[in-house]
Amino acid sequence: MPGKACKILHMINTEAEARPLTGMFWMFVTGLCFVAVTALVKYLGDDMPAAQSAFLRYLLGLVFLLPMIASLRAVTFTPRNLTFFSLRGLVHGLGVILWFYAMTQIPLAEVTAMNYLSPIYVAIGAALFLGERLAARRIIAVLIAFLGALIILRPGIREISPGHIAMIGTAILFAASYLMAKRMSGQVNAAVVVGMLSITVTICLAPFAFAVWVPPTATQLFWLFWVAAFATGGHYAMTLAFAAAPVTVTQPVTFLQLVWAVILGAVVFGEAVDVFVVLGGLVIMSSVLFITWREAVLRRQIRAASVQAS
């Protein structure tokens, strides 16, 4: 009992020591990094096949795994773990290919707004495959998010392009990858999960890339390296944000990405500002925020009940 009480006090103290401004700052940096990724991929265009662009982005990004080598070498991988990591690499890799393709087909704002559907698919997947309870409030939030997607897509009113379909597939595959990572997080540390994702995605993308290979230029390799750098920086900044403050504090800041994407698309790439895309994105954001807030409330209730019981 004393050990349990100490653990509860530690959790309470951790929440009390949260640094909301620091967390919001790092999530702001995260958003800028990820918008930089989308802008660079958009700038590269479709001169290089999507599968090859995705492969080179991950191949060039392997240099950022050097600090994780010690953690990876210390792990004894079982055949089951290796199979699971490989399956996740394939799922995530297919999602990355679809994302790179969508970037060449639809505006930045639409890619960003539709990418917010991933947490909704995570909520559905957690209920279907991880046994988590799908309460009425969460079901309503999911339905609201899909309403936001319909506002963006407007089926029957305008043509749904292959880029839109690719982004739907991207959000689903990324959600599946997240759920698989959640499943593995209790078995190996976070550095191993992140490192193995980069390695397995690179391996799984290789045959797709070589099937459509075109000789890359030095300029393309240069910008793809920076895509990898900004993506790595974004994930690192996100980790710092989560360590500094609760998700309920940092999550709203992520939605600034839609603002940056709209501005960048209009100013740099000459894309028209679609009011329906912005409105649909805001509807999806409100749904994700509600789910995030409800999860935080439930966690506080569970912790309060644990304190009373102890």
pLDDT given for residue 204 in this prediction: 95
Amino acid letter, 37: V
* Residue of 72, 58, 93, 59 lying closest to 177 (CA atoms): 93
Query: Residue 6: which pLDDT band, with cuts at 50, 70 and 90?
Result: very low
pLDDT given for residue 216 in this prediction: 93
Using CA of residue 297, residue 301, residue 304, residue 310, what is the dihedral sign? negative
pLDDT given for residue 131 in this prediction: 73
Please tell me the distance from the alpha carbon of residue 284 to that of residue 286, in angstroms, as a whole number: 5
Q: Which contiguous run of DSSP H or E holds residue 217?
A: none
Q: Which contiguous run of DSSP H or E holds residue 214?
A: none
Amino acid letter, 163: G
**Residue range 201-222, pLDDT digits in tens:** 999 999 999 999 999 999 999 9
Please tell me the distance from the alpha carbon of residue 205 to that of residue 217, in angstroms, as a whole number: 19
The pLDDT mean for the chain works out to: 82
pLDDT given for residue 247 in this prediction: 64
pTM: 0.80
Using CA of residue 79, residue 84, residue 88, residue 91, what is the dihedral sign? positive
One DSSP character per residue, 111-133 reads HHHHHTTHHHHHHHHHHHHS---
Query: Residue 14: which pLDDT band, with cuts at 50, 70 and 90?
Result: very low
pLDDT given for residue 248 in this prediction: 62
**Residue range 143-187, pLDDT digits in tens:** 888 888 888 888 777 788 899 999 999 999 998 988 888 777 667
- Residue 79 in this model has a pLDDT that exceeds 50: yes
Using CA of residue 78, residue 80, residue 85, residue 86, what is the dihedral sign? positive
Is 18 or 13 the better-scoring residue by pLDDT?
A: 18
When pLDDT is averaged across residues 93-110 and rounded to a whole number, the result is 91
155 strand-pairing partners: 158
When pLDDT is averaged across residues 59-83 and rounded to a whole number, the result is 83
When pLDDT is averaged across residues 188-213 and rounded to a whole number, the result is 88
- Residue 3 in this model has a pLDDT that exceeds 50: no
pLDDT given for residue 249 in this prediction: 67
- Residue 192 in this model has a pLDDT that exceeds 60: yes
Identify the three-state secondary structure at position 77: coil
Q: What is the domain count for the chain?
A: 1
- Residue 277 in this model has a pLDDT that exceeds 50: yes
**Residue range 232-271, pLDDT digits in tens:** 888 888 878 877 777 666 767 777 888 888 888 888 888 8
Q: How many CB atoms lie within 10 A of CB 19?
A: 14
Please tell me the distance from the alpha carbon of residue 286 to that of residue 255, in angstroms, as a whole number: 10
pLDDT > 70 in the chain, percent: 87
**Residue range 17-66, pLDDT digits in tens:** 567 788 888 888 988 898 899 889 989 888 899 999 999 999 999 998 88
pLDDT given for residue 74 in this prediction: 79
CA distances from 136 to 97, 133, 225, 269, 291 (A): 35, 9, 45, 42, 11
Tell me which residue range forms the domain holding 210. 2-309
* Residue of 201, 177, 5, 16 lying closest to 97 (CA atoms): 201
Q: Which of 125-129, 280-284, 304-308 is most confident? A: 280-284
Query: Residue 70: which pLDDT band, with cuts at 50, 70 and 90?
Result: confident
